[in-house]
Chain A
Amino acid sequence: MAELVKNTVEIPTLQTEEKTISPWKEAWQSFYKNRLALAGLIIVVFFIILAIIAPLAAPYSYDGQTLTDRLQPPSSKHWFGTDDFGRDIFSRVVYGARISLWVGFFSVLGSVIAGTLLGIIAGYYGRWVDTIISRVFDVMLAFPSILLAIAVVAILGPSLQNALIAIAVINIPNFGRLIRSRVLSVKQEEYIMAARAIGMKDSRILLHHILPNSISPVIVQATLAIASAIIEAAGLGFLGLGAQPPTPEWGKMLADSKQYLVQAPWTLFFPGIAIALTVLGFNLMGDGLRDVLDPKMKQ
């Protein structure tokens, strides 16, 4: 990766008088100047590292119960206190980062892939294919998203994996519509007509011309979608429709501790702060990326 960046910078500076920089480099520079976006990136990277090194960062295992240490307030031994099973909340929050990021990334990846495919098919081929796909999207968007997720989990049964699938499903129409509208506008461009005139195959036009031209709004949308996916996963977990015990999922941790609000409020502080921080990180990053990558919003 480092080498790649180096190359793209050096070659143009060698050959041209005027200093030119690649669009990605330029995007990074204006992203770097946006302090809020940078803060978002730092938060996200922090949680990613935390998730990777969870076994090293957590002083205890996430399901190790010490019943003599039930509902202990935060101390030097247990930084975030312990829950009603005497489990270390700090360790559970650290391991929880794995679960939330996993659900966030992979559910959005699923929606991006499915949404892109459907959007391209609808936008490029038009006619009845477009009508059917667009109507299906309309129906899906007619449900408030958490309700559609509940419906999907009600069918598949409650588990973390099914919550992930449900969240992936509810986000498909957002990406599908985005790609479809991009395809429709790019399709009108003269170079696409030229590509078709020289006999280029549909698949090649789609893959080499239309898709690269649609990628930046998808990146922005995906970053913001990860934020909402993490909240939705926590919401499903909170309703008992996501992760099952003893998985240290943040939403489920809140649901299990809500009866200790008076007795041991720290059991509720930290998982919630973890959700809010992670989501804030992705939201800040998404906003920054939109300013950088979406020329319409550029000032």
Chain B
Amino acid sequence: MLTYTVRRIFSLIPVLIGMTLVVFAIIHAIPGNPAQVILGQRATKEAVRELTEQLGLNKPWIIQYFEYIKALLHGDLGISLRTRGPINEEIWPYLMATLELTIVAMLIAIIIGVNAGIISAWFNNSWFDYVAMVLALIGVSLPIFWLGLMEQWAFSIQLGWLPTTGREDVRDPVSAITNLYLLDTLMQGRIDQFWTVLQHLILPSLALATIPMAIIARMTRATMLEVMKSDFIRTARAKGLRMFWVVYKHSFKNAIIPVLTVIGLQTGLLLGGAILTETIFGWPGIGRYLYDAITYRDYPVIQSGILIIASLFVLINLIVDLLYVFIDPRIKYTK
């Protein structure tokens, strides 16, 4: 187990190096003079020269790359061109906002998706199965930014149930401790604020949850159908065990690995999907930060945002891989 863990972590090194190369290339592969592109055609010569020097673009690229890596290892992500602040400090609250949104969305997706998949497999070919699978197919086909807009139209504008945008009541802002507002409001005993924050979370997290929910439901159903055909399930049923336990305990336990894989993969994709959802809902997360950076051609922020999300994606996949061994003792990685 330990050797596997160590090996798995070491295998990440080439991937991480490759990722930094891609992110590094975002500025350096711009055709022409990157500083000119960032500042626009009307920029003065001095401004272009100044930016070239600030970004270190006048040095050979191999030296620039090593300087970039050295800075990264010190936790230095560079300076934002727009706010002139250090990115590693600026990015923190945005990152936590995205984390909160992603966790809530993933919880919704897992709880509904897994159960819908299990019930669909349990009552295979029933009307529930049929409806759930058609809904899942529609779910994976919806562009989430459009779904978000439609939710806003239906639940905020037409029904007036939930707020359209933002993360909190601007007249009564949450005082941040961890920047996970649900946690912060609870820690401060502000139940009223907790509800406001929760209300702001519902629409964006539902929009974000749709696609993973649909994919998890389909995957769970497919694996459950497979498992429920096996002999030990027939034995369990033959000895008179209640169907509920056969399905939820015996079958699901054996179907969990592929489901877990999908959950891990989807969590990472959710971090990418957050950029569209956050743009719609004015959610001050890393996706929104990235979107603003794209609008202002703030390349250092674009680089850092992409690097951070991709690193999280890799980290989640690592955790899922390691979880397999704990969950399913039949998997052994001793070679």
Contact = CB atoms under 8 A, between A and B. Distances in A.
B268 A144 contact: yes
From B15, B21, B271, residue with most partner A Cβ within 10 Å: B15
A238 B145 contact: yes
7 contacts: A136-B18, A138-B18, A139-B22, A239-B276, A261-B149, A283-B140, A287-B137
Interface string B135-149: 001101111011001
A231 B144 CA distance: 9
A261 B137 contact: no
Contacts of B273: 144, 146
Contacts of A147: 272, 275, 306, 309-310
Q: 9 smallest A-B Cβ distances: which pairs?
A: A144-B272, A139-B18, A272-B146, A280-B141, A279-B141, A146-B272, A155-B29, A143-B310, A147-B272
Contact of A272 (B149, B275, B313): B149
A265 interface: yes
Q: How large is the interface on A (under 10, 10 to 19, 20 to 34, 35 or more residues)?
A: 35 or more
Nearest to B276: A235
A261 B137 CA distance: 26
Interface in B302-326: 302, 306, 309-310, 313-314
Contacts of A231: 141, 143
A268 B313 CA distance: 32
A34 B271 CA distance: 35
Interface string A259-298: 0011001001101100110011001100100000000000
A193 interface: no
A227 interface: yes
Given A144-B272, A154-B302, A272-B146, A139 B19 contact: yes
B269 interface: yes
Contacts of A151: 22-23, 26, 302, 306
Contacts of B37: 157
B191 interface: no
B272 to A, nearest CB: 3
B103 interface: no
A44 to B, nearest CB: 12
A156 B22 CA distance: 13
Contact of B313 (A143, A150, A258, A261): A143
Given A143-B313, A280-B137, A280-B138, A254 B149 contact: yes
Contacts of B22: 139, 143, 148, 151
B295 A240 contact: yes
A14 interface: no
Contacts of B23: 151
Interface string A92-106: 000000000000000
Contacts, number: 131
B177 interface: no
Contacts of B29: 155
Interface in B276-330: 276, 279-280, 290-291, 294-295, 299, 302, 306, 309-310, 313-314
Given A142-B313, A240-B294, A265-B153, A251 B272 contact: no
B299 A142 contact: no
B302 A143 contact: no
Given A151-B23, A239-B294, A280-B138, A275 B146 contact: yes
B25 interface: yes
A173 B313 CA distance: 17
B119 to A, nearest CB: 20
B152 interface: yes
Given A272-B149, A280-B137, A234 B271 contact: no
Given A145-B269, A283-B137, A261 B309 contact: no
A89 to B, nearest CB: 14
B30 interface: yes
Nearest to A277: B141
A83 to B, nearest CB: 15
Contacts of A283: 137, 140-141
B60 interface: no
Interface string A228-249: 0001001100111100000000
